[in-house]
Structure 1
Amino acid sequence: MASMIQVRDLLALRGRMEATQLSHSLNTPQPMIDAMLERLEAMGKAIRIQEEPNSCLSGSCKSCPEGKACLREWWALR
C-alpha cells in the first residue's frame, strides 16, 4: 500500500499522471489513490487537470451515454 508521500514523489518524477496510472504504478487500489489525490488537492499540493470538452476528436462526447467518460483527468504537483 502506497503513502501520500509516494504518490507525491511519483507525480514529481513523471510530471502529470492519471489516477489509474498511479494506482497501477504503486500497486494500490484506485479508491485509495483517489482519496490521497483529493487530500493533496485540499492541501494545495496537487492540481487536477481536465480536458476541455471541445477537445474531443471524434465529436461523439456530446452524445456519449457515459456522460463524457472519454474525457481524461490528470494530476500534477503545484
Structure 2
Amino acid sequence: MASMIEVRDLLALQGRMEAKQLSLSLHTPQPLIDAMLERMEAMGRVQRIQEDADGCLTGSCKSCPEGKACLKEWWVLR
C-alpha cells in the first residue's frame, strides 16, 4: 500500500499522471489512489487537469458505449 507521500513523490518525478498509472506504479488499488488524490486536491497539493475531447471521432461522448472513455484526466502537483 502506498501513502500520500509516495503519490506526491511519484507525481513530482513524472510531472503528470493518470490515477490508473499511479495505481499500477505503486501497486495500490485504484479506489484508494482516487481517494488520496481527492483528499490531496482538497488540501491544495494536487490539481486535476481534464483533457479536451478533441480526440473524440464522433463528438458525441454522451452516446459513446464507453461513457466518456476518450476523456483523459491527469493529476499534477501545485
- The TM-score, its normalising length taken from structure 2, stands at 0.89
Q: Would you say how many aligned residue pairs link Structure 1 and Structure 2? A: 76
Matched, 1:71 2:53: no
Gaps of 5+ in 1: none
Gaps of 5+ in 2: none
Aligned residues: percent identity? 72
Q: What RMSD over aligned residues (CA atoms) do the two structures have, in Å?
A: 1.2
In 1, the alpha carbon distance for the partners of 2:29 and 2:42 equals 20
Q: Which residue of 2 aligns with 1:41?
A: 41
* Per-residue CA distance 1:19-72 (angstroms, 9 max, x = gap): 00000000000000000000010000000010112x12x522414133322111
In 2, the alpha carbon distance for the partners of 1:61 and 1:25 equals 32
- The TM-score, its normalising length taken from structure 1, stands at 0.89
In 1, the alpha carbon distance for the partners of 2:40 and 2:6 equals 12
Q: Which residue of 1 aligns with 2:58?
A: 60
1:61–1:67: structure 2 CA closer, same or farther, 3 Å change rule?
A: farther
In 2, the alpha carbon distance for the partners of 1:30 and 1:43 equals 20
Q: Which residue of 1 aligns with 2:31?
A: 31
Q: Aligned to 2:9, what secondary structure does the other structure show?
A: helix
In 2, the alpha carbon distance for the partners of 1:11 and 1:66 equals 27
